[in-house]
Each structure stands twice: as C-alpha cells, then as structure tokens.
A and B are shown apart, each in its own frame.
Chain A
C-alpha cells in the first residue's frame, strides 16, 4: 500500500524514545517497517527530568510488560526494581498526618454503593476512619509486606494491583535492548535541524549534526521538554500550568539504602515544595521538588547531599496538541507533570498505546490525530487535576502547601471538588488515569469529608454497618499479616 507508514523516526533516545520504539516495534512485528532512534541529546546535556522521575510507576506498567511478554524477574533484576503498592503522602494538611494512596480497591462493595459512602456515614456519627485502613495494599505497605495479588477472585488478596520502583537508566538500557532486538536502529548523532514539507504541517526530515538527513513517514518527538519537533518546528503552543503548580525545579540523587526497601513511594511536604523517596533494591532514589522562587537551589542541593545530585528544571504543562501532522510527541515533549502521583511513565505508556490503536497511514493522520488529541489530552488534564488537588486541599502555613492557588481552578477540577464535598461522588471523564478509589482516597486523606452520603449507605442498620465494616478491616488485617516482608519476598522471587 503506497500510503503505508513504513519509516518511523524517533527523535530522542531517552526513556520515552526507547520505550516508544520498543512498544511500536512489538506491535508492528511482522510488518516491514524501520524504526530509527536519533539520540538528540548534546553531550553533557541535562538529564530529562521526566526520565528521572519515572523511577516510581503506576500499575499500567506490569500490564504493558505482560503484553510485551517480558519476564518480570529478569526485568526486576536488571533494573534493581522493587514492588510498589502505593504512595504515602505526609504532612500535606498537618505535619503529623499521613495517608497511603494504594493501588487497589477500598473496602468491599456493600449494598451496591462505594465503600467510602459508609465511611462518610460513620464519620457523621463521630467515627472518622481513613479509607487506607480498608485497603489490602495500604495495610501491607505500612507493614512493609508484599506478595503478588491472588488470582482467586474470591480472595481478599485479589483486590489490588501493583507497580514498580525502578532504576530509570537501567530501564532505558533494557527497553533499548528490546527495541533493538525488534529491529530499531540507533542513530548516534545530534539533531541539527528539522525540515518541514511544503505546507508546513508535516515534518519531511530531520538533519543531524554529522550531515545526515533522515526522512520519515512518522516522527515521534521524544526530545524532552524542548519539543524540538512538535514545539520548535511545528509551532504547537505549550500551555503552562505553572499558575496552579508552581514547582519548577528538583534535585535528585541516589544513596545507599540502610533499610530494607519499602513497597511504596514517599511524598512529604516541605517548605517550598516536597521531598520524594523511591526505594530500589539496594538504593534509595530521593529528591526535592520545589518552587525555584521560594527555595534556594544550593540549599536544596545541600539537603539531598552526597553523590552527584542532579539539578533539574521543568515547567508543568502540556502542548495544546500532542499529535500534529505526522508528528506525535511522547514524554516530556508532550507535557510534563511533577511526579507527585507517579504519572510519568504511565502517560508515556498511554500515549504509545493510543498511538498503536490509532496508528495512521499517510492519508488518515488528521482524523487519527484529532482522536488522539482528544483522548490523551483528557488524560493529561485529568492527571493534572489529580495532582493539583493535593495543593488545593493542603492546609500548611508555608507555600505551596497553604491551600488553594491564586489562579482560578480548572473548571473540571472545581466540579470534581464540589461533587465530592457535597456527597462523596467522584466525577470521572471518559478518559482518565485515576479512577474512583484513587480520588476518594485522596480526598479523604486530605481531610475532606462529604457533607452528605449516598442513601444506599443507609440500607444497613447502625450495628450491622459497624459489624460489617469491622469485619472487612479484620479480614484484611489478618490477610496482610500472612504476607512475607517485601525484601524477603524480593530475595526469594529474584534468587
């Protein structure tokens, strides 16, 4: 077919670029295509902040690996990976308070209504319980325990998913090796220029510093925040979210771990920003994400101390279109969201998944791009709402944890907050990364108790409800007690 896209050029050899090359190569196995990955980074260039933050992931990744047929053990060994059951958020509303956002269900479905509705009812009668007390992964995480979810749908140990913490450089090497085994070719040269076609809507070729000119049918812009193709060459505007999300800098380092790895990511509010800890098997990745106008970068570097910290700069936001003409941006070239909710690799993953589902030929690119921009744009904006929610509901004295940002909220978030406060209803759009339990757990974790609860939660009498809720907690607690410590499970699983 003359219109087939045969020649794919990926600009940027970081995590996003190689991950996209690997997924595309796998989806296209059996097709006659070429995938070339241009290393666009100049020597000594700053690390891509998004790559660095991909150390903490979401549960889409194990699913993607399974689809790719990757062996989990080999991957985990190579990337020094640990299991992740959720994220602990500390001190966002009160220095002494923390909650755990788990990857899994909350409670059990009683009377055809979300469990959190019963917790609202109990709160109104004076028993303010946290939702993470009714989550197997949250309970297990706090005890430092882990085992793979049970396959038996009747077991309470089937009610969760998991993600990973991983060494992003090792992971980049791994997906690069996989992409190359599927035929992707690395082109080791710096990007020197971009040639557009006659009407200026498509990219004809990229020119490299060594004089090569690489033409292609489809270009993936994985060049990081500069968005060399989508932004610089095609002129798609970048919409900054900085008035809502002021953090724009980070320092990150890895230190030797003195404790066994926790099966969760830690996020703690700090003056001017927040600190981040993602445990690998033998190391702890830690960082400080902050507003450069409030925190002195040198002081921040001092805080994380030690071994060669990376200093990173970024701007939260996304491009208005993520796909224009024959150019699709993946990773930081598409958009950036600070890693408060570990969305980095998940958004890359969703982008590639949608690209495969909407894979164009030369004649259909415009129609496919519209749908891609609609769906993936909604995912970015939903993830932004989710991250912004944490700042909005914060109640500390120091910025940025001192409550709502000055800028008017995105209407989508305002509606979500209004409906949750009113009656614990989680408003979800068609395309979302975070689902009902994530939102409910975050709202409650941040101290929001709905004014009303669903009338369905009144189906049970008081004594019956208290008994059922207590029973769920008991069953879950007993179940997690039987799980092995995370580090022992890792030792055994990866032996």
Chain B
C-alpha cells in the first residue's frame, strides 16, 4: 500500500521507490476486514471495484456484529452509517434514549439500514441523494490480504516501483547521526536510500532492531497478545459483515470472503494456552477447516515515534491495536496519507517529524480508546479475562468520553481520528453503556410524537433493506 501510494503521488523524477520483500517471510492476515476508508484508497489509485473484488475474493462489508461482549447472549452491530433521523434538531440517539427510559424496547439496531440489510445478507451501494432511504451509510470490503499485496504489486511495478526479492541481513547506520544509510540483503546487494519505510511487521526490523525506537506497551489496557487463525469452507448465506464473538479469554473473528471464510481467535496467553485457544477456534467454525491453524504473537501498543530519524514505521511495525474494529488497514492508510502530506527533504527537520508523530499519536490513541471501550464496558464476570478488563484502570481520555455518554448520551467529537458519533453510539449502546438521563430538550415532547417519528423510521429501514438484492446475487452479477 505504501509503495503504490508513493508511486501515485510522487513524480518519478523526484523519487525512486524500491521495495524489498522476502517470500520466506509471510504476510500476516488471513482475510482482512476494513473500514470504508479503503474505498478512498482504491479510488485514489483508480482501481476498478469489480476487478479488485474479483482478484481479492472480496465481499462487501456493512459493519461488525459483536456477540457475547457485554453479556453472554448479547449481540449488537456496529454499522457503517447513521441511526435514524433527528427531530427538530435533536439527535436521533437522544430520541431513542428518551423512549428507552420510559420502557420502549426497540433496539437501536432497528433504525439502521446497513444493520437491517446485513442481517438479511443483503447489500446495495448507497445513493448520493440524501433524501433517499438508501443514503446515509457507507461500506467497506472484506478481502484476502495475501491477494491484495500482489494486486497492488501489479499496479505499482509498471508505475516505477522497483521490487527486489531478498532478505535484509544487515542495516548500516550513518556514523554521524545514526540515520539509516543502507540495507544489505542476503544476496550481498546493498540498497541505499534517503527515506526508509519499515513495513516489516511486528518485528520492526528497521525502527526497532536497528534504531531502537522503543515501544509503548498497551497490554495493561489490551491484554490479548496472540491470535490463531484458520480459513474454513463457506457456509450459509454470504454475509456482508464481520462477526466478532467474545470467548472466555479473547474473541473470535469471522470474515466471509467469496470463496471461504477467514477465522481467528485473538486471546491473552495469560488466561489460556495456545492449544486450548486453537481448540476453541476449531470448535467454533461454521465450515470445514481448510488449513492448519497458524499462530501469531503480538504486543498491543505503539512505537514511541512512528517516524524516527529517516525511518517511518507503517503498519504493524508502527503499532498494533488488535483487529477488533478492522483498523489495521486504516492505520496504514493514515500513516501513508500523513507521510505524503509531510513528505520530508533530506534534512529531516525535527519540526516535520514532530508534527507527523503528533498526528499519528492521536490516530493511534483514538483508535485505542475505542477498542478498549469494547473490553472495559462489559458486565461479564465469568472468566479471569473479563474480570480483569472490567476492573482495569482505563485511559483518562476514554474515561472522560464514557462519563459524558453515560450521563446524557453526549459523544465527544474530534477532528483527527477515525470514529465518529454513530460509531461511538453503536458501541456504547451495544456494550450497555446507556445514558442515565435524557436530553432535556425532550422534556415536554409528547411521547406519541416521538413514537410516530421512530415508527416511520423503522418502517423505512425495513422497506429499504427489502429493496436491496442479496449480496450473493449482487456479487455474482457484478463481480
């Protein structure tokens, strides 16, 4: 992704771009779920959606279902879209909350077209007309990351990216200032460069092993440190959403692709052995496993400086906030976008690096808070993991946000960062963080009026979803 973006945005006479990769080192990812920003990335490169979907076995994604998170037996969805519509300037979730507090039981999911469509395995792209019932939502993709990389390679190489197959065996630093001067490959080839982008994954070959940048460990907030992944045969309707099911010591993802389903169990090794974790995964597949389970180890957290000297860490080398909200690819995109906006010259002035790190820190921390919310806001007390996360101290920035929502349904908005108001509402409500009070603007609004308004919205959601084709139909016709 980094090489393709740089090739797209930099003139070939300004920069030469080389990419070093080794077939001996695998790609993490067995089915990758994304957020709607991926479409912007694809559009920027001018990728054809149908071609991309065909070549990466992609499916559409309208959101994520969370099962067993706040309580065993619970299920909610975080959709890519708004809930309902406001009434006289009062936000929809406040209307919903007003009725909830007098005992109405319609879940907030009933007011989301992408949720209703997703539950019925239906999909249609949103329209541009804001008045249409088929507007107000977005979509992303679920695809095979091991196929996306060659797809991007095929795009990037004709546009000047020079790829070298090889394993880096040595990194030479400049004596004067410790900047990276060159890489030495197993073949003996030396590759020099001005700027190095470390996409080596968790390992942090350049940023950590050579530059010793340091890592801020978030395990105390996000204790999962391993994942075991396995694909399985597809079964049932082709669902346009990712499912995340909480287990005793972690959670399991289910990512439907066109041809198979990606599965993985993310867990904390403090609370479960690798063998037990793999067994739990295999027991909870909805089709026949297609490979041996693969084990991945990680430490949640963030590189202390994702840009250090002349090395920018993009992807897992920069930080890892576990894939619960499909943020990995978004954070790659953010790193690349900010890098291009702040593209350096050879002086690598501190003012520029500081600005990049300031913005990337915000990106990481705001994603982190959102993920921590899923764990901390639970009532589960059936296993040590849930007891730990329920009681752990959380970041002040998250505690502040939660208090405002719990009090009166207020969502704190910000300029830099991924998740906006509807996403926070979805997860607060789904995790049973429910406002104690209602918006005082609704004090004297007759409940009948609110119910008429919400009833019409529910009906519109039902009708809108019914008008959509099934995702399986749509894909077989257009992809």
Set B9, B407, B414, B445: member contacting A364, Cβ < 8 A:
B407
Known: A4-B440, A367-B407, A425-B355. A455 touches B340 (CB 8 A): yes
Identity of the chain B residue whose Cβ is nearest the Cβ of A459 in the assembled complex: B11
B443 contacts A4, CB within 8 Å? yes
7 interchain residue pairs of minimum CB distance: A455-B343, A430-B414, A367-B407, A31-B444, A430-B415, A359-B440, A422-B351
CA distance A196 to B445 in the complex (A): 32
A367 contacts B440, CB within 8 Å? no
Set A356, A419, A456: member contacting B441, Cβ < 8 A:
A356
Set A4, A5, A113, A371: member contacting B412, Cβ < 8 A:
A371
Identity of the chain A residue whose Cβ is nearest the Cβ of B91 in the assembled complex: A357
Residues of A within 8 A of B341 (CB): 113, 425, 454, 456
Residues of A within 8 A of B414 (CB): 430
Interface residues of B in 419-445 (CB under 8 A from A): 437, 439-441, 443-445
Residue B89, interface by CB 8 Å: yes
Identity of the chain B residue whose Cβ is nearest the Cβ of A456 in the assembled complex: B9
Taking the closest CB of chain A, its distance from the CB of B68, in whole angstroms, is: 30
Identity of the chain B residue whose Cβ is nearest the Cβ of A451 in the assembled complex: B349
Q: Can you spell out 23 A-B residue pairs with CB atoms less than 8 angstroms apart?
A: A1-B443, A27-B441, A30-B444, A30-B445, A31-B444, A32-B444, A356-B441, A367-B404, A368-B407, A368-B410, A370-B400, A371-B404, A371-B410, A418-B351, A422-B351, A425-B355, A427-B355, A454-B341, A454-B343, A455-B9, A456-B340, A458-B14, A459-B11
Residues of B within 8 A of A422 (CB): 349, 351-352
Residue B403, interface by CB 8 Å: yes
Residue A429, interface by CB 8 Å: yes
Interface residues of A in 112-143 (CB under 8 A from B): 112-113
**For chain B, what secondary structure do more than half of its interface residues adopt (helix, strand, loop), or is it mixed?**
loop
Residue A28, interface by CB 8 Å: yes
Identity of the chain A residue whose Cβ is nearest the Cβ of B349 in the assembled complex: A422
Known: A67-B89, A429-B415, A430-B415. A364 touches B444 (CB 8 A): no
Taking the closest CB of chain B, its distance from the CB of A321, in whole angstroms, is: 16
Set A32, A425, A459: member contacting B342, Cβ < 8 A:
A425
**For chain A, what secondary structure do more than half of its interface residues adopt (helix, strand, loop), or is it mixed?**
loop
Identity of the chain B residue whose Cβ is nearest the Cβ of A452 in the assembled complex: B345
Set B10, B412, B413, B441: member contacting A455, Cβ < 8 A:
B10
Known: A422-B351, A430-B415. A459 touches B9 (CB 8 A): yes
Summed over the interface, the residue pairs from A and B with CB atoms below 8 Å come to a total of: 81
Residue A428, interface by CB 8 Å: yes
Residues of A within 8 A of B404 (CB): 367-368, 371
Residues of B within 8 A of A356 (CB): 441
Residues of B within 8 A of A364 (CB): 407-408, 437
Identity of the chain A residue whose Cβ is nearest the Cβ of B351 in the assembled complex: A422
Mask, B321-362, CB within 8 Å of A = 1, is 000000000000000000011110100010110010000000
Identity of the chain B residue whose Cβ is nearest the Cβ of A455 in the assembled complex: B343
Interface residues of A in 37-60 (CB under 8 A from B): none
A361 contacts B349, CB within 8 Å? no
Residue A469, interface by CB 8 Å: no
B440 contacts A5, CB within 8 Å? yes
Given A28-B441, A427-B355, A430-B415, 8 further pairs, Cβ under 8 A = A31-B441, A359-B440, A359-B441, A368-B404, A371-B404, A425-B342, A455-B340, A458-B10
CA distance A423 to B348 in the complex (A): 13
Residues of A within 8 A of B349 (CB): 422
Taking the closest CB of chain B, its distance from the CB of A116, in whole angstroms, is: 13
Taking the closest CB of chain A, its distance from the CB of B442, in whole angstroms, is: 9
B14 contacts A423, CB within 8 Å? no
Residues of A within 8 A of B415 (CB): 428-430
Residue A358, interface by CB 8 Å: yes
Residues of A within 8 A of B407 (CB): 364, 367-368
Residues of A within 8 A of B437 (CB): 3, 361, 363-364
Taking the closest CB of chain B, its distance from the CB of A364, in whole angstroms, is: 5
Residues of A within 8 A of B403 (CB): 367
Taking the closest CB of chain A, its distance from the CB of B275, in whole angstroms, is: 47
Residue A246, interface by CB 8 Å: no
Residue A13, interface by CB 8 Å: no
Taking the closest CB of chain B, its distance from the CB of A1, in whole angstroms, is: 7
Residue A287, interface by CB 8 Å: no
Interface residues of A in 444-462 (CB under 8 A from B): 452, 454-456, 458-459
Taking the closest CB of chain A, its distance from the CB of B282, in whole angstroms, is: 45
Residue A102, interface by CB 8 Å: no
